[in-house]
Amino acid sequence: MKKKETDLLCAGVTRRDFIKTCVTATAMMGLPFAMHTRIAEAVETNRNPAVIWLHFQECTGCTESLLRSSHPTVASLILDMISLDYHETLMVGSGHQAEKSLHDSMQANRGKYLLVVEGAIPTKENGIYCKVAGKTAIESLRHAAEGAAAIITVGTCAGYGGIQSVAPNPTGAVGVRDIIKDKPIINIPGCPPNPYNFLSTVMYYLTFNRIPDLDSLGRPKFAYGRKIHEHCERRPHFDAGRFAKAYGDATHAEGYCLYKLGCKGPETFANCSVQRFNDVGAWPVSVGHPCIGCTEPHILFKMPIAEKVQIHEPTPPDTYAPVNLRDKGKGADPLTTGILGLAAGAALGAGAMMAKKLPKDGPAEEEKHEKSE
């Protein structure tokens, strides 16, 4: 048995759970099913990258949901895939001992470690509103970013400022990308984000040794490339004009669309309606709460929950056959794509269906190569 596999089993992750998680992550990344073996291999023989995890202005919900959730496999895998050298919430050491771990890891792994950041960074009054070990958040971030290979922000606070940055933004809170300009930054927004999005991003990095394709807000396209409105189970009600009118009334109990209660799904890019949370298939809309746009910096806490969002670019539900309007006349006709869509739907499982949700620009070179094999 390979050493890494032993480690995983010791960490309470069965071989079956491990492969299942790799399959889920493979589907989430929009990669062909067969790639899950390469991902499993990369994790098992991984470089065990050193990770430094900093916390600034936040509620710590991101770490809580990542590591103390009902996802024992996800939590164990995250902790086992990486060498977590510094994490203020989890580490046993404190004071000078903790600072020494941070310093030693940055020295030993210079240029190679991953820096994970949770929480916004206050910039007003020279950053005095958030200090750890006598250093402001800006100082700690700049110092840790210097030797990092890449930075992953976890949560909308670290990505874009989050709740702290809501007007009048008394502390001048901003996201990492407003301060660090010379390092690759991957944003995994959400308040909190789905643990699988973080897990899949790390797995992608370990497998391909590069960061995934990102959208204009620095989010991996495989997880944030589609609006949740496209896969929402209440979408047929939206299309039929059936809307919940009040919490707890008959229309709400019937499961009607939550748009008129303020659902931001039509303008929110995320995979919640597909990936869901807590291994029980739940997500905000499924339990009757409108999406509050927690992955969108211009929506989360910037728009009242009950306010209806303007729909700028209506997108069809995912169940319709794809029709490429821009290339009208060049591709297959809608009837053909409809029949192909039905055949594909019958042939593929839910995981494989995710594989067609590739970024608009198509797969990266390695992925194309994998597909042609």
Of these, 32, 61, 288, 334, which contacts ligand FSX (CB under 6 A)? 61
Strand pairing class (148-154; 113-118): parallel
Which of 49, 265, 284, 359 touches ligand SF4 by CB under 6 A? 265
Residue 259 contact, options ligand F3S, ligand FSX, ligand SF4, none, Cβ 5-8 Å cut-off depending on partner type? ligand SF4
Q: Hey, how many other C-beta atoms are within 10 angstroms of the C-beta on 48?
A: 14
User: How many CB atoms neighbour CB 23 within 10 A?
Assistant: 19
| Both tokens assigned to 287 | 């339990």
Q: In whole angstroms, how close is the CB of 300 to ligand SF4 at the nearest point?
A: 15
**Residue 294 interacting with ligand F3S (CB under 6 A):** yes
Q: Is 121 in the site for ligand SF4 (CB under 6 A)?
A: no
CB of 307 to ligand F3S, least distance (A): 14
Task: Map residues 270-289 to x or -, x wherever contact with ligand SF4 holds by CB under 6 A.
Answer: ---------------x----
Q: What is the DSSP string of 204-272?
A: HHHHHSSPPPB-TTS-BHHHHSSBGGGT-TTHHHHHHT-B--STTSHHHHTT-B-GGGT--GGG-B-SH
Q: Which residues contact 274 (CB under 8 A, 6 or more apart)?
A: 231, 354
Question: Taking the complex as a whole, how short is the minimal distance between the CB of residue 164 and ligand FSX, in angstroms?
Answer: 8
The smaller minimum CB distance to ligand FSX, of residues 98 and 163, is found at: 163
CB of 75 to ligand FSX, least distance (A): 15
Q: Cis link prior to 122 (omega < 30° from 0)?
A: no
CA distances from 130 to 60, 98, 141, 274 (A): 14, 18, 12, 36
Listed ranges 42-50, 55-63, 195-203, 266-274: which one lies at the site for ligand F3S (CB under 6 A): 266-274
Residue from 229, 272, 294, 299 that binds ligand SF4 (CB under 6 A)?
Answer: 229
Task: From 102-110, 198-206, 231-239, 326-334, give the range in contact with ligand SF4 by CB under 6 A.
Answer: 231-239
- Of 114 and 274, the one with the shorter C-beta distance to ligand SF4 is 274
130 is an interface residue for ligand F3S by CB under 6 A: no
Write 275-282 long-range contacts (CB < 8 A, 24+): 275/28, 275/194, 275/196, 275/197, 275/223, 276/194, 277/194, 278/69, 278/70, 278/71, 279/70, 279/71, 280/70
Chain residues binding ligand FSX by CB under 6 A are: 58-62, 118-119, 155-157, 162-163, 191-192
List of residues contacting ligand F3S (CB under 6 A)? 190, 228, 268, 270, 272, 283-285, 291-295
